[in-house]
Amino acid sequence: MDYREGKYTVERFAGENRLSKQSAINTLSRLKKQGLAEVSGGGKQKRIYTLHKLPRKKTNGFYDVVNKYSPEKLQPGFEHYVKGRYTIEHAIVDGIRIGDSRTLQATAYLFRHVSDWKRLFDLAKEYKLRTRVMALYRKARGSIKCRKMPERYLHD
């Protein structure tokens, strides 16, 4: 059966497609598993199902990490999909590579959550961004409460 794109509650979806409420829930669940529906709301709010014609893959990259940890939220400039593990350290290097001022400001908050300094500096060395990582760290350290960098990385 073909469903129209748009935003639906379970009741509205059931009414427009002449289904019982339980059938509508089952259908929306199936569409969600196929990537044709996204869900928002829940809890005390009504669940809103957004239906799409083509499957949408969830992004799992830079903007998701930054918006999770930074109080300054960024509107994605592009869809960033990552295969495998994407860490805070990867996000810091990607934020520096993007390079606009608002992105750098939001990226600075990620220094609070760095757990593997070696990985960060290996990535920075790979992309030749070591001095820019240090500059952003010093700027973040001046304005935000961050974790202290180990001594061995400060003197390189």
- pLDDT per position as a tens digit, 11-37: 999 999 999 999 999 999 999 999 899
120 vs 155: which has the higher pLDDT: 120
State how far the Cα of 134 lies from the Cα of 143, in Å rounded to an integer.
14
Report the pLDDT value the prediction gives residue 112, as an integer from 0 to 100.
95
CATH code of the region 6-51: 1.10.10.10
pTM for the full predicted model: 0.73
Percent of the chain topping pLDDT 90: 79
Q: Please determine, for residue 100, whether its predicted confidence score (pLDDT) is greater than 80.
A: yes
The gap between the terminal CA atoms of the chain, to the nearest Å, is 62
Q: Which of 3, 6, 23 is closest to 14 using CA atoms?
A: 23
Where in the sequence of the chain do the CATH 1.10.10.10 domains occur? 6-51
- The pair phi, psi for residue 7, each rounded to 5°, is -105, 135
Q: Structure tokens of 111?
A: 């220094």
* DSSP character string of 31-73: HHHTTSEEEE--TTSPPEEEE-SS--PPP-SHHHHHHHH-SS-
